[in-house]
Structure 1
Amino acid sequence: MKSKVITLYLIFFCVSHTQSQDLTSKLYGSYDTYKEKELDKRRIKHRDLQPLLAQYEANPLFGITKVGESIEGRDLDLISIGTGNTHVLLWSQMHGDEPTATQAIFDIFKFLESDDFKEEKKEILSNLTLHFLPMLNPDGAERYQRRNLLGVDINRDALRLQSPESKVLKRVRDSLQADFGFNLHDQSTYYNAERTEKPATISYLAPAYNYEKDINESRGDAMKIIVYMNNIIQKYALGQVGRYNDDFEPRAFGDNIQKWGTSTILIESGGYANDIEKQEIRKLNYVSILSAIYTIAKGNYKDIPIEAYGEIPENDRKLFDLKITNLTYNLLGTDYILDLGINRLEVDKQGNTDFWYSSRVIDQGDLSTYYGYETLDANGLSIKQGKVYPKTLATISDVKQLDLMQLLREGYTYLRLEKIPLAMLESPIPLNLVGSTYELPKLQLQVGINPTFLIEKNGKPVYVVINGFLFDLSTGKGSFKNAMIYR
């Protein structure tokens, strides 16, 4: 049955969507033309959007309406474009630390105001009216935190409506009687497509509107559009799409907006290898959302077999930044074989516009059912504690005199400074910095420790892990952002 569903869908897609496929390829290939260069980092703020909104306010294509304020008094603006009778509402960043789709929305604005793709845009804007709430939780975005200033998860406030931001979303949805809704989020980069090592770069959900998970026409349309978008993403991130569990959550906006009659599509932006700022995922949002809007405008999503929705793998959460397998660990004279799962956890700097990493061992033992963005098979290799370099340096500038990779090869993982400036939060070099009186504790592998150690073969270091970053000592290669400071 599964193969029949897939075959039917592929036949349908190839025959009926050649034009849409062409559009998708063109959107992907021309993306840099429309990328909003002013929003090139994840930790965007409400103030970053204001000059951009001022530009669109001066453009007669766009209508910008203040529809409310956040708790701290930041404007919540609705941006509308198009003249069609079908209303599509897209809202982003109801969680303040989930900005990927917000950036993509401003890329979409640049596309819509351009002189290119005239026929496609005519199809969209004459059949649809698009409405965007690009940053629903600006107070959370200011602090790069999930919840709003009240400490409320806006996405669990659809019934009580305690937060002004929640009231705005409900009022806008009701006033528009939106036909389609796109609920745009970020998810953890540690989600994977079920039973695969591939990250769930994009995950979808057509939320249930009741505990029975019934499928009416509205929810069915959302499923069909998700199948359409999945096919697009597969072209650029093969196997990297997940599907959220659809258990009904009576407090959630997505579930309720579906219940209120808007065909609702949840999009979650996850992880993509070597894409720390999620710029490739932003591009995939841009392409897939615009393509979905186009198929809504044309109405050809209606013929997509709904059964294909169930073929999308479910979301799982079994990814680590670094997975080390079959590592020999000697404890109290006995050798044990362990797998290690290591994640690089972000710590925001003051102002919440940048971050540094404080990595941790998240799990250890048999991790054979887990995966890593980066994996090292340490079969025949043993873990050993690194050493503190015997000379104490006066300042960090003295480090320039040292061959750091050679120090790592000699087994040094810590460098002592006479005085570490209080303003320094992280080590900019691939060795942890320690104060003049710091005593290195004995390495004991356990969940929660910072992963800094040597990996040896026959007593000689062949790899080193510094704050969760792996270096191959034979080549000197390894990705790196920062090491730790211990005063």
Structure 2
Amino acid sequence: MIAYSLFKEISLSGRYISMDLLNVSCFSKLNAPIVQIGKSVDGEIIKAFSIGRGATKVLMWSQMHGNESTTTKAVWDMVNFLGTQDELALAILEQCTLMIVPMLNPDGAKAYTRVNSNQIDLNRDAKERSQPESQALRQLFQNFKPHFCFNLHDQRTLFSAGNVAKPATVSFLSPASNKERDLTSNREVAMQVIVAMNNKLQELIPGQVGRYDDGFNDNCVGDAFQMAGVPTILFEAGHYPKDYQREKTREYIFYALVEALTTIANNTFPNYSTSDYFKIPENEKLFFDIIVDNANSVNPNIEIGHRIGIRYKEVLEDGTILFKPEIAEIGLLTEYFGHGTWDCSDSEENLPAEIMDLVLTVS
């Protein structure tokens, strides 16, 4: 087992990761040539770099959505590992050439928004490529001619790994390349690599790996690259219990990245069955951040037996992400789970003031 703590990039932590931070903490010490692939709407340079010398080319990009930073942290952890003399790291770089874009949407990262400065979701701009960031990625794709693509994202805390009380800490998808969602050869290859990653993660977080919805959308970059015949894998970094800063999740993304690259470098993905891909449970939206029980004991406006489902809104303030609770739903909510639960009838358990204030506002 790789000693992850030896490779964790300690300069990166928490949820707010900006290009300014990467420039100071990561790019400045990178032992590889940095290339400018384009500029953002606000004129920020979009940077990429290549490591390895192998014949198999892997393109990966992170923070296409500016507020999805977990995979960016994991990518730098991976780069640290690949910069060592570890036999596995050396084997990967001998067989593979990696092209890495750690932050595709620097404007969105700075503002901590999903969209870019033109309020466009870059992952819905694959056809028109109306945005400079979209154009930069597509040009890189065409020039680099990858054999594999890794599309790196975060997903919300509401996802469960199937109909169980386990969060989807990591989710994967081999995107469809047509409305029929046919199993094309390149889609099957992506599925096989995902099975390899899932097998590894089941040893670490059993039951906490999900399969993302494969509804086809040719405006999505992953679907578009799959349409172009390149095996493409969507990575979704999700919630691990009590890990709202996603420091544990980044570790599991790190292990997944290394496992995927190992499988590709060793050309062992044909050993895995696509049928096992479909055994990974589909994501379901069954979690609230907090469920409040017996709220009628403090607020008679709430029906007896009804529960309050609360989800956090992530807000950027002074360079820090704050998690502000909001009521998402009130009802029986018997089919839902909470990352945390509070019982208003328990005199020994006091709700945090901000949660109690929300409960009391229900009319």
Give the TM interval when normalised to the shorter protein: over 0.9
Cα 1:301–1:466 shift into 2, 3 Å? same
Q: 1:387: which partner in 2?
A: none
Q: 2:59: which partner in 1?
A: 89
Alignment of 1:68-467 (within 5 A): 68-115=38-85, 117=86, 119-325=87-293, 327-329=295-297, 336-350=304-318, 353-376=319-342, 378=343, 455-456=344-345, 461-467=347-353
Cα 1:216–1:465 shift into 2, 3 Å? same
SS class of match (2:46): strand
Cα 1:291–1:357 shift into 2, 3 Å? closer
Once the 2 structures are TM-superposed, how far is the Cα of residue 63 of structure 1 from its aligned partner? 3.0
Deviation per residue, 1:58-117 (Å, 9 max, x gap): x3xx232111111111111111011111100010000000011111111111111123x1
SS class of match (1:462): coil
Structure 1 CA distance for aligned equivalents of residues 202 and 354 of structure 2:
31
Is the Cα–Cα contact under 8 Å of residues 50 and 100 in structure 2 kept in the other structure?
yes
Deviation per residue, 1:385-405 (Å, 9 max, x gap): xxxxxxxxxxxxxxxxxxxxx
Q: 2:8: which partner in 1?
A: 35
Q: 2:28: which partner in 1?
A: 54
Is the Cα–Cα contact under 8 Å of residues 82 and 93 in structure 2 kept in the other structure?
no
Which structure has the bigger radius of gyration? 1
Deviation per residue, 1:306-337 (Å, 9 max, x gap): 10111111111111122234554588799722
Once the 2 structures are TM-superposed, how far is the Cα of residue 183 of structure 1 from its aligned partner? 0.2
Is the Cα–Cα contact under 8 Å of residues 84 and 127 in structure 1 kept in the other structure?
yes
Is the Cα–Cα contact under 8 Å of residues 294 and 304 in structure 2 kept in the other structure?
no
Is the Cα–Cα contact under 8 Å of residues 272 and 280 in structure 1 kept in the other structure?
yes
Once the 2 structures are TM-superposed, how far is the Cα of residue 345 of structure 1 from its aligned partner? 2.5
Q: Does 1:44 align with 2:17?
A: yes
Amino acid at match of 2:340: E
Structure 2 CA distance for aligned equivalents of residues 109 and 359 of structure 1:
35
Cα 1:325–1:175 shift into 2, 3 Å? same
Cα 1:356–1:49 shift into 2, 3 Å? closer
5+ residue gaps, structure 2, are 357-363
Is the Cα–Cα contact under 8 Å of residues 176 and 215 in structure 2 kept in the other structure?
yes
Structure 2 CA distance for aligned equivalents of residues 97 and 331 of structure 1:
35
Once the 2 structures are TM-superposed, how far is the Cα of residue 55 of structure 1 from its aligned partner? 1.7
SS class of match (2:348): strand
Structure 1 CA distance for aligned equivalents of residues 247 and 165 of structure 2:
21
Cα 1:53–1:329 shift into 2, 3 Å? same
TM-score by length of 1: 0.70
TM-score by length of 2: 0.93
Cα 1:137–1:335 shift into 2, 3 Å? closer
Is the Cα–Cα contact under 8 Å of residues 16 and 320 in structure 2 kept in the other structure?
yes
SS class of match (1:90): strand
Structure 1 CA distance for aligned equivalents of residues 242 and 301 of structure 2:
39
Deviation per residue, 1:432-455 (Å, 9 max, x gap): xxxxxxxxxxxxxxxxxxxxxxx3
Q: 1:63: which partner in 2?
A: 33
Cα 1:467–1:266 shift into 2, 3 Å? farther
Q: Percent identity?
A: 36
Structure 2 CA distance for aligned equivalents of residues 355 and 259 of structure 1:
36
Once the 2 structures are TM-superposed, how far is the Cα of residue 269 of structure 1 from its aligned partner? 0.6
Is the Cα–Cα contact under 8 Å of residues 342 and 362 in structure 1 kept in the other structure?
yes
Amino acid at match of 1:53: F
Amino acid at match of 2:154: D
Once the 2 structures are TM-superposed, how far is the Cα of residue 344 of structure 1 from its aligned partner? 3.0
Structure 2 CA distance for aligned equivalents of residues 358 and 220 of structure 1:
41
Cα 1:136–1:466 shift into 2, 3 Å? same
Amino acid at match of 2:28: A
Amino acid at match of 1:96: G
Is the Cα–Cα contact under 8 Å of residues 152 and 234 in structure 2 kept in the other structure?
yes
Deviation per residue, 1:204-234 (Å, 9 max, x gap): 1000000011112111000011111111111
Cα 1:133–1:329 shift into 2, 3 Å? same
Amino acid at match of 2:8: K
Once the 2 structures are TM-superposed, how far is the Cα of residue 370 of structure 1 from its aligned partner? 0.3
5+ residue gaps, structure 1, are 1-24, 379-454, 471-487
Is the Cα–Cα contact under 8 Å of residues 41 and 132 in structure 2 kept in the other structure?
yes
Q: 2:359: which partner in 1?
A: none
SS class of match (2:349): strand
Once the 2 structures are TM-superposed, how far is the Cα of residue 188 of structure 1 from its aligned partner? 0.4
Cα 1:367–1:34 shift into 2, 3 Å? same
Once the 2 structures are TM-superposed, how far is the Cα of residue 468 of structure 1 from its aligned partner? 5.3
Structure 2 CA distance for aligned equivalents of residues 245 and 456 of structure 1:
39
Q: 1:22: which partner in 2?
A: none
Once the 2 structures are TM-superposed, how far is the Cα of residue 157 of structure 1 from its aligned partner? 0.5
Is the Cα–Cα contact under 8 Å of residues 193 and 314 in structure 1 kept in the other structure?
yes
